[in-house]
Amino acid sequence: MTGRRVAVLGAGIMGSSAAISLARRGFDVTLVDREAAPMAATSRWNEGKIHLGYLYGADPALATARHLLTGGLLFEERARELTGDDLDGHTTTDDDVYLVHRNSVVAPDALRATFDGVSELIRQHPDAGRYLVDLSDARTTELTPAELSAVAGEEIVAGFRVPERSVDTGWFADRLAGAVAAETGVTLQLGSTVVAVEPHGPADGRWRVSTDNGLDEDFDVVVNALWNGRLPIDVSAGLTPEPPWTHRYRLCVFARTRTSCDLPSAIVTVGPFGDVKNYNGRDFYLSWYPVGLAAEGAELELEAPARPEGPEADAFVDRVRVALEHVMPGVGRVFDDAEALTVHGGFVFARGTGALDDRRSGLHRRDRYGVQRRGTYYSVDTGKYSTAPWLAQVLATEIAG
Ligand SMILES: Cc1cc2nc3c(=O)[nH]c(=O)nc-3n(C[C@H](O)[C@H](O)[C@H](O)COP(=O)(O)OP(=O)(O)OC[C@H]3O[C@@H](n4cnc5c(N)ncnc54)[C@H](O)[C@@H]3O)c2cc1C
């Protein structure tokens, strides 16, 4: 099997992890992306939560938590294997705080029960000791009224502390991009937009990959990890996507402060709200969902909206600030002390439809992503950043047979 040619399409966290994992199993890998560098798109510009399942509080059956858990628990180990770097110093160190909004689609009591269920799942998991912190005794604790009023505005009716951590995605993007560029066995084909993948030659499972700048080469195996660009290529390869699905493009603010700012990482839940992530006291992720939702649709591929710049970016930052200050009054310090504020974002693909303020929306579950296959063509719905390094390893092992 060694020496077989694999085209990995898309150099985000999924494609880059898969390319390295396959090259280390002896495959001759070509990694294709339209960007000028690996890890330049959604995988660089997201929140980096290494999910344990708490975010999906509107899925009381815990199907999402079960789907997310193994990959999240093993994220650090897989990330270290891929890059050779330790994540110490580049992840949040305190528990996340979930703040329950008065318009939450799940009431605090129901959320408490779901959170306890997630904690129980974690404690029973054989890999509970392998997360970024030891979770063998994972618990959720409710904030006291005094603790709540110290961080939250009047619209917040309850708060829970959960042992989730997040990674600084910009830092990790640089590490993984460096690792994939240094991997002998991976050839980077950047600045190339994939336009089709079609069966080619006799029915022995070979595929012709075509790009806008004339790559047109044959491969034994194709891994489609194009995320927002995945479905049209699946169609060209003869895989029909199964509805329903929704593409979204979300803009957020990435801030760096001049001085250290002691603010908890907090998520306003459950519904179309927002969050604040404090990676290390100076690097922050700030989002307010209704302000940042720049495009949404159910077509095969959603076009990226223009990223705001200059005065438009300033106005966007102001809107995020105003919304966040309602729910976390202390957040203004981050904006006041910022030496850099970057507006950026990325795509979310989800196998569901509806709006987050609707309790019944399919977007409140994320338990149906993974790999679809036609012969030696593999289409990967990454689903979550946090499970990608683990899923890539599972996939590489399967392809290696
Ligand atoms: C605002 C936001 C916050 C998020 N927060 C979290 C979080 O906290 N935790 C979590 O687990 N997940 C989170 N996610 C989801 C997570 O970011 C994605 O699931 C993950 O990054 C997808 O990785 P990927 O490698 O599949 O996609 P990408 O990183 O987008 O990689 C796909 C690559 O394919 C390339 N491409 C696309 N089409 C083509 C084409 N036709 N030809 C050539 N190249 C092409 C793109 O340039 C890109 O480099 C968030 C997403 C957003 C937008």
pLDDT tens digits for 24-71? 999 999 999 999 999 999 999 999 999 999 999 999 999 999 999 999
Helix residue spans in 13-105 (DSSP H): 13-23, 63-73, 75-83
pLDDT at 201: 75
In the three-class reduction of DSSP (H, G, I as helix; E, B as strand; rest coil), residue 291 is classed as helix
Check whether 2 has a pLDDT greater than 70.
Answer: no
Report the separation in Å between the CA atom of 298 and the middle of ligand 1, taken as the mean of its atom positions. Answer: 17
Q: What is the pLDDT of residues 91-101, one digit of tens each?
A: 999 999 999 99
One-letter amino acid for residue 124 of the chain: Q
Q: Which of 155, 64, 150 is nearest to 115 (CA)?
A: 64
Residue with tokens 């399967």: 398
Check whether 172 has a pLDDT greater than 90.
Answer: yes
> What are the DSSP calls for 189-240, one per residue?
EES--EEEEEE-SSTTT-EEEEETTS--EEESEEEE--GGGHHHHHHHTTPP
One-letter amino acid for residue 178 of the chain: G
Cα-based angle 61, 67, 14 (whole degrees, multiple of 5): 150
Count CA atoms within 13 Å of residue 118 on its CB side.
Answer: 31
Lowest mean pLDDT across 41-45, 89-93, 212-216, 391-395: 212-216
d(CA 95, CA 152): 16
Domains and CATH numbers, the chain: 5-42+173-242+368-400 (3.50.50.60), 93-165+245-364 (3.30.9.10)
Check whether 333 has a pLDDT greater than 70.
Answer: yes
Residues having CB within 6 Å of any atom of ligand 1:
10-15, 32-35, 40-43, 46-49, 51, 193-194, 225-229, 250, 252, 345-348, 382, 384-386, 388
Query: Average pLDDT for residues 337-355, to the nearest whole number?
Result: 97
165-166 and 49-50 beta bridge pairing: antiparallel
Residue with tokens 């815990």: 62
pLDDT at 205: 78
Atom of ligand 1 nearest to the CA of 166: 8
CB 267 within 8 Å of CB 97: yes
Lowest mean pLDDT across 212-221, 261-270, 288-297, 303-312: 212-221
Phi-psi region of 246 (alpha: psi -120 to 50; beta: other; left: phi over 0): beta
pLDDT at 215: 80
The dihedrals phi and psi of 101, each to the nearest 5 degrees, come to -75, 150
Query: Average pLDDT for residues 286-299, to the nearest whole number?
Result: 98
Atom of ligand 1 nearest to the CA of 35: 47
Check whether 132 has a pLDDT greater than 60.
Answer: yes
Check whether 204 has a pLDDT greater than 80.
Answer: no
Check whether 1 has a pLDDT greater than 60.
Answer: no
CB 398 within 8 Å of CB 23: no
pLDDT at 49: 98
Residue with tokens 């990223």: 307
One-letter amino acid for residue 352 of the chain: G
Q: Is the pTM of this model over 0.85?
A: yes
Atom of ligand 1 nearest to the CA of 33: 44
The dihedrals phi and psi of 201, each to the nearest 5 degrees, come to 80, -165
How large a percentage of the chain has pLDDT more than 70? 99
d(CA 148, CA 158): 7
Sign of CA dihedral 277, 281, 284, 286: positive
